[in-house]
Amino acid sequence: MRIRRDPVTVIGDETRNATGRGAGKARGVGRSESQETCPGAHSRHRSSWEDPGDALGSSLFVLGGARSGKSRFALASQPPSARVTFVATAQAGDGDMAARIARHRAERPPHWRTIEEPYDLVPRLRAGCAEAEAVIVDCLTLWVSNLMLRGDADDWIVKQSDELAALLALRPADLTLVSNEVGEGVHPSTEDGRRFRDLLGTVNQRVAAAADRVVLMVAGLPLAVKGPR
């Protein structure tokens, strides 16, 4: 199947394509607006489902819709002085996205390391975990979208998510991953949109099953879906 090369931008409740033309909700492969503005996001969140006594690394999977507070929560979950590597999967496809990437980079603590990796996420994570106390991936939504637009087959993308889940099980560092919950919105009107929704839903399930904790963000509030056993 050939993938359309006009990815759709999802910003709040509105959707537009890269040329600025209105597209309606969930028309096709999405470009996530998951890196929300994060004022005061660097204070430490200690949640009731966390296990502060775990000597190994732990994994946190943060899900939610656009502008639900996913990225703010992911950033705020890190200790202020920790050596954090931030893995960004976004690509600056136009001026608007480039400005957003620059703004979000400026919002992160200056001692954090940023790696931009739109495709080869698992190898980058393996290397990043060896060099940092904590790693944030924002976000799996764009990672899946990037792989689809590159022409990767669904089976291959799911296999990559299985490798990601296997890495989480090893607990090489504190890992926080962010993704969009796209299965509760308007039914996509295009075949590509339905494929993206179904594929991201499968990836999210594989990662959630492997993660120690899963949080669903609703209107800026974290709901504990899964906690440590």
CB atoms within 10 A of CB 17: 16
The interaxial angle of helices 154-170 and 140-150, nearest 10 deg, is 150
Find the catalytic residue in 45, 104, 111, 187. 104
Catalytic residue list contains 104: yes
Residues 6 or more apart whose CB falls under 8 angstroms from that of 92 comprise 98, 101
Q: Indicate the DSSP class of residue 22.
A: B
Token digits for 203? 């990836």
For residue 217, which phi and psi values (nearest 5 degrees)? -90, 130
> Beta strand pairing status for 8-11 and 14-17?
antiparallel
Catalytic residues: 104
